[in-house]
Structure 1
Amino acid sequence: MTATQPDEPLDSVDLPETPPAPKHRWGFGAFLVVEAVLLASAAFVSVLLGPAPPGRPTPPRDVLIGTITPTVLAALVAVLFTVWRGNGPRLDLRLDWRWADVRLGLKLGVLGLVLTTVSAFVWTRAVGEHNATSAITALVEDQPMSVTSAIIMFCYLWLLGPICEEVIYRGLLWGAVERLQWGAEKWGRLAAFLLSTAVFAVSHLEPLRTTLLLVIAVPIGLARLFTGRLPAAIVAHQMNNFLPALALLLTTLGVPTL
């Protein structure tokens, strides 16, 4: 009769690896289509709404439609690509939810807020306050909105906008880079981090603020890099956007801010 072997310590047992997600069939072409949808829809909405009457600011309704519609539409097209030529958004965009990712996202979001605040101060001193203003801030500056419009803009900038942008850049673009054969897996992740950070900054089409946007993008990209999943990057992005969105809300309501 064979003697019973003592239980082995848990850390000495080779646990089976979680099987990788099935490979998707979309790549850079999908990302380029999404970027084209983003730019084309922005141009179409601009033409559809028409220019503001001479001497009058753009109506708040037009600001909301022109700001929100292109990004949301582009993110929806990105999700459709994962359904059409992949395994769906949860697997392809790494949308698995874990509380540890949320905690890390909050920490990196706070870090991003600090970096953004310091960088924005230095950048404003370097290029002047007017040149450092974002495109959205320029639209709503000196133009009080209704309470409803201001709250919608605040919720978009704080919550919805980061989700859409992360789906496009740290989701679709990141997955397109990782799909390429880079040798070691870590090099694929690093390439995805570097490229998505650079493209995120450039794609805002604000040349003077590109350097500042790079600083903003780094902690967000690190959240995606460290966890391998998108929710951490979304939380970091939302955390980073909270104070600017709040300042914009107060400004549009005519409340003085520092």
Structure 2
Amino acid sequence: MDRSREDPLPIRAGLVLGAHWGFLAFFAGLGAYYLLSLLLTAFAIGGDGEVGSLRLPELGPLVLLAFVPNLLLGLAPVLAARRWGRGVLAEFRLLPNARDVKVGLACGGFALLTGYLLNVVLLEVYGTDRLTDPLTEVFGGIASDAGWLIVAALIVVVAAPLTEELFVRGALWNGLVHHRVPPWVVLVLTALVFAQLHGEPTRTIALLGQGIAIGAARLITDRVGASLVAHATNNLPPALLLFGGS
């Protein structure tokens, strides 16, 4: 039997403090993410905008450092699923199957198209000064180091989609579905969270459109594995463009 099509659990199952454990994982992960981001910014960046008190010998390690807060986004759902749920694989259906790959590739391609078209419109509204490429801003300083570029690309295509999907289309989505929120509302709400999480106000509309396209993979299959493939597909071309300046 396909567990993705089973009836939802009883409304009282899996509750922590009166709500589904996915909400606890969501708010704990979000709080830890922002707290660690603030701490890393305070310690790593000096008043002159250069690498400060951490005294890193080169910009390469900042690739890993920038990803550390994202780890907490994925860690909270993993720990919560193991503690109060049925485990990571059963709760999120994380490992993509053949259908997940097909649906994920299609939704990821649509996310790319949506993001491109909306960013073209936003570029006309904001101009190049306000609408910049976030990957270039973060990883531009390692453009001459092929090894760190590969690490950065793997983070963008594999690691970041994994943690973000566990967080948004995993823990939050499961919590909303458990409490009988209509599917289209779940899709839009998680897309809004996805857009806000990136902290790019000028690109929020484009990120919202991409979030809906990626979330459609979860909606169609009821599996995080499908949205993970969609997210990775959406991130692949920007990651490859990192090598353009190397």
Report the 3-state secondary structure (helix = DSSP H, G, I; strand = E; otherwise coil) of the residue aligned with 1:77: helix
User: How high is the TM-score relative to the length of structure 2?
Assistant: 0.84
Q: Deviations over 1:135-190 (max 9, x none)?
A: 442233466341111110011111111111101000011011112144xxxx2x22
Counterparts of 2:68 and 2:51 in 1: how far apart (Å)?
Answer: 23
2:81 maps to 1:82:
yes
In structure 2, C-alpha distance between the alignment counterparts of 1:139 and 1:171, rounded to whole Å: 27
Aligned to 2:187: 193
- TM-score normalized by structure 1? 0.80
What secondary structure does 1:60 align onto?
coil
- Check the 8 A contact 1:109/1:220 in 2, yes or no: yes
The answer for the alignment partner of 1:32 in structure 2 is 27
- 2:104 touches 2:229 (CA, 8 Å); kept in 1? yes
Counterparts of 1:50-89 in structure 2, within 5 Å, are: 50-51=45-46, 59-89=58-88
Whether the 8 Å contact between 1:37 and 1:73 is mirrored in structure 2 is: yes
Aligned to 2:18: none
Deviation at 1:76, TM superposition (A): 1.3
Which residue does the alignment assign to 2:151?
A: 152
AA at the equivalent of 1:215: G
Q: Which amino acid aligns with 1:204?
A: H
1:223/1:137 CA distance change after superposition, 3 Å: same
Question: Contact (CA 8 Å) 2:107, 2:213: kept in 1 or not?
Answer: yes
Amino acid at match of 1:120: N
Q: Residues of 2 paired with 1:181 and 1:99: CA distance?
A: 28
Task: Tell me how far 1:29 sits from its aligned partner.
Answer: 2.8
C-alpha separation in 2, matches of 1:24 and 1:115: 36
1:170-185 equivalences under 5 Å are: 170-182=169-181
Does residue 246 in structure 1 map to residue 236 in structure 2?
no
Contact persistence 1:177–1:191 (CA under 8 A): no
The code of the aligned residue for 1:198 comes to L
In 2: Cα distance, 1:94 partner to 1:21 partner:
15
Check the 8 A contact 2:33/2:70 in 1, yes or no: yes
Which ranges in structure 1 are unaligned for 5 or more consecutive residues? 1-16, 254-258
**In the superposition, relative to structure 1, how do residues 34 and 142 fare at CA in structure 2: closer, same or farther (>3 Å)?**
closer
Residue in structure 2 matching 1:213, options 207, 222, 225: 207
Letter in 2 for 1:109: G
Sequence identity percentage: 27
Q: Which blocks of at least 5 consecutive residues in structure 2 are unaligned?
A: 16-20
Moved more, 71-80 or 58-67: 58-67
Question: How far off is 1:119 after superposition?
Answer: 2.0
Who wins on radius of gyration, i.e. which is larger?
Answer: 1
For residue 60 of structure 2, give the secondary structure of its aligned residue in structure 1.
Answer: helix
- How many residue pairs match? The answer is 231
Task: Tell me by how many angstroms 1:226 deviates.
Answer: 0.6
